[in-house]
Amino acid sequence: MLKVDELSVHYGGIHALQGISLEVPDGAIVSLIGANGAGKSTTLRTIVGLVKASGGAVSWNGDRITGLATKDVVARGVCLVPEGRHVFPNLTVDENLILGAYSRKDRPGIAADRDKVFALFPRLQERMRQKAGTLSGGEQQMLAVGRALMTRPRLLMMDEPSLGLAPLVVKMIFDIVKTINAEGVTVLLVEQNAKAALEIADFGYVLETGRITLSGPGKQLLADEGVRKAYLGDVKPVGAVAR
Amino acid sequence: MTLALFLQHLANALSLGSLYALIAIGYTMVYGILRLINFAHGDVFMLGAYLAFYSVATFMLPWWGALLLAVLLTAAFGVGLEWVAYRPLRDSPRISVMISAIGASFLIENVAIVLFGGRPKGVTVPDVMNVKLTLGGVSIMSVSLVIPIITFVALAVLLWVVQRTRVGMAMRAVSTDLDAARLQAIDVNRIVSFTFGTGSLLAGVGGIMWSYKYPQLNPLMGVMPGLKCFIAAVIGGIGNIPGAVLGGFLLGGIELLTIAFLPTLTGYRDAFAFVLLIVVLLVKPSGLLGGAAVEKV
């Protein structure tokens, strides 16, 4: 279980996170939604140690991981698929995947995980010798997820996986998230696409300018009047949403 | 000009060019990984030459033992330099790191003046490096033949490491996206140390070969070669290893062919390096082998 306790982050004079607390129970999908600049990405980047916290603590399975180097957090099974995918464009698809397992020594395990990624994303296998920079946005997102899976995460954090992708690809990515979760990987999802994110979430948090303002089960947040107004762009009562 | 004389100049150009190339590789590797111009690289080169000198003069090592020891110590020094002067500034604005690099350069030069003395020291060139080889009217010293060989072996090994090994893969990853590399649990610091160690090792070899070719040492001997090799790296496309080698050869070639064909302008030989730099930057700002600069979004 991931536990974030009163986490604070300052960027220069800006108080980006103002003491947020949240929990991600084992096996769950938890979504963190909010507007641009609310601090969603900062939250994930702080958990994984790319950004320094100015206060508060993050613990993973009871161990404090605040202040650890990113590589040590990742080695403990907490992994982030960054916003904008950030695959290595000048490396091949296969090299990207191999790098995902950089800290691991178990060759057979690595090979098995690579096969698993290829089973999950057959497209990546077709393109394994291609430079990652030549892939489409959707394929790059698949590669970013695949590369993250190669670290053998127990908690997979995803930052805006649907950003800039076609609706069909978005649906596919969210299906994959569900599949990964069904195999026992805990998921913490950050999304601007609040509807999709809350629909698959067991639990959700709403982040507004550095504070958690609302939390509850995904379905309950979806039905919440304030959430609907602010993030779903409609004011119709529940049940009346045309699909 | 006779053919023999032209070939003579060409041989000299090849040897000087490969020496430049050896040093330029260090600039380009460090830049490729950290986007940092290691201004102290020329001083690391100087240090290599002095370390070999003292290993022979003070510790009475045979020349090859001195070379080996000096090269290893220079590599270690490069790693230490990064640790002290650059690592604490890893996430600082680039200008801070650049100032630190310039500071490190001045510090090394001045400490060297204090420790080694400002007066030039004569180097005893080992006999094997001092054999005069003559072939069809062209005569060179054996060291001038050894340098290109070292450069090409180093180039081949480096390309193999970067393209074919795990650590090379990690180097390419770190060079394109530092944060993404951290997220794959890559030990970025270790990769950076490896890069500095390799670059400094080559600079150490370069410094020692330089001292065999021009057997005199002074604490500021690294300044001008350092600057020129930086230019060579930029001309070839900084961040690109074959580019640095190409740039080194171009620079050596232009310098010595100037002397060959325009002997009256010999005093301006260093100016030609800068003219070449300006021309290349005007025509192809990313360098001859450099790709188009990709802006991170």
Average confidence (pLDDT) over A84-99: 94
Q: What is the mean pLDDT of chain A?
A: 90
Q: Can you give the pLDDT at residue B140?
A: 87
Average confidence (pLDDT) over B1-26: 90
Q: Which domain holds residue A227?
A: 2-232
Q: Which of A87, A89, A99 sits opposite B186 (nearest CB)?
A: A99
Three-class SS state of A56: strand
CA atoms of B139 and B217, how far apart (whole Å) = 25
Q: Can you give the pLDDT at residue B292?
A: 56
Average confidence (pLDDT) over B163-170: 92
Q: Which of B172, B177, B186 sits opposite A71 (nearest CB)?
A: B186
Q: State the pairing for strand pair A203-208/A29-34.
A: parallel
Q: Is residue A240 part of a domain?
A: no
Q: Can you give the pLDDT at residue B95?
A: 92
Number of domains composing chain A? 1
Average confidence (pLDDT) over B157-167: 93
* Complex ipTM > 0.90: no
Question: If you count residue pairs, one on A and one on B, with CB atoms under 8 Å apart, how many are there?
Answer: 66
Residue B27 near residue B263, CB atoms below 8 Å: no
Q: Pick from A57, A45, A78, A76: which is nearest to A6 by CA?
A: A57
Report whether pLDDT(A224) > 80: yes
Q: Which residue of B has its CA nearest to A104?
A: B185
Average confidence (pLDDT) over B62-80: 96
pLDDT in tens, B80-130: 999 999 999 988 898 999 999 999 999 999 999 999 998 999 998 998 888
Confidence tier at B62 by pLDDT (50, 70, 90) = very high
Under CATH, which number does the domain B3-283 receive? 1.10.3470
CATH of the domain at A123: 3.40.50.300
Task: Please report, rounded to a whole number, the percentage of residues in chain A having pLDDT higher than 70.
Answer: 95
Q: Can you give the pLDDT at residue B295?
A: 40
Q: Can you give the pLDDT at residue B80?
A: 97
Q: Is residue A63 part of a domain?
A: yes
Confidence tier at B262 by pLDDT (50, 70, 90) = confident
Average confidence (pLDDT) over A179-196: 92
Residue A103 near residue A71, CB atoms below 8 Å: yes
Q: Which residue of A has its CA nearest to B184?
A: A100
Q: Is residue A237 part of a domain?
A: no
Structure tokens at A139: 């394929």
Q: Which of B173, B182, B297 sits opposite A70 (nearest CB)?
A: B182
**A163 in contact with B, Cβ within 8 Å:** no
Q: Which residue is listed with tokens 């080992």?
A: B126
Confidence tier at B266 by pLDDT (50, 70, 90) = confident
Task: Determine, for residues A50 and B179 on separate chains, whether the beta-carbon distance falls below 8 Å.
Answer: yes
Q: Which residue is listed with tokens 């005569």?
A: B139
Q: Which residue is listed with tokens 């510090």?
A: B107
Task: Determine, for residues B169 and A91 on separate chains, whether the beta-carbon distance falls below 8 Å.
Answer: yes
Task: Determine, for residues A70 and B166 on separate chains, whether the beta-carbon distance falls below 8 Å.
Answer: no
Q: Is residue A55 part of a domain?
A: yes
Task: Determine, for residues A88 and B186 on separate chains, whether the beta-carbon distance falls below 8 Å.
Answer: no
**A52 in contact with B, Cβ within 8 Å:** no
Q: Can you give the pLDDT at residue B268?
A: 86
Q: Which residue of A has its CA nearest to B179?
A: A50
Task: Determine, for residues B180 and A82 on separate chains, whether the beta-carbon distance falls below 8 Å.
Answer: yes
Report whether pLDDT(B134) > 70: yes
Q: Is residue A27 part of a domain?
A: yes
Residue A229 DSSP label: I
pLDDT in tens, A101-135: 998 888 899 999 999 999 999 999 999 999 999 99
**Burial of A231 (C-beta count, 10 Å sphere; 0-12/13-18/19+):** buried
Q: Is residue A57 part of a domain?
A: yes
Task: Please report, rounded to a whole number, the percentage of residues in chain B having pLDDT higher than 70.
Answer: 97
Q: Which residue of B has its CA nearest to A146?
A: B184
Task: Determine, for residues B179 and A86 on separate chains, whether the beta-carbon distance falls below 8 Å.
Answer: yes
Report whether pLDDT(B242) > 80: yes
Q: Which of B176, B179, B185 sits opposite A102 (nearest CB)?
A: B185
Q: What is the mean pLDDT of chain B?
A: 91
Q: Can you give the pLDDT at residue A42?
A: 94
Average confidence (pLDDT) over B157-181: 93
**DSSP string covering chain B, please?**
--HHHHHHHHHHHHHHHHHHHHHHHHHHHHHHHHS---TTHHHHHHHHHHHHHHHHHTT---HHHHHHHHHHHHHHHHHHHIIIIIGGGTTS-HHHHHHHHHHHHHHHHHHHHHHH-SS-EE----GGGGPEEEETTEEEEHHHHHHHHHHHHHHHHHHHHHHHSHHHHHHHHHHH-HHHHHHTT--HHHHHHHHHHHHHHHHHHHHHHHHHHS-EE-TTTTHHHHHHHHHHHHHH-TT-HHHHHHHHHHHHHHHHHHHHH-GGGGGGHHHHHHHHHHHHHHH-TT-SSPPPPPPP-
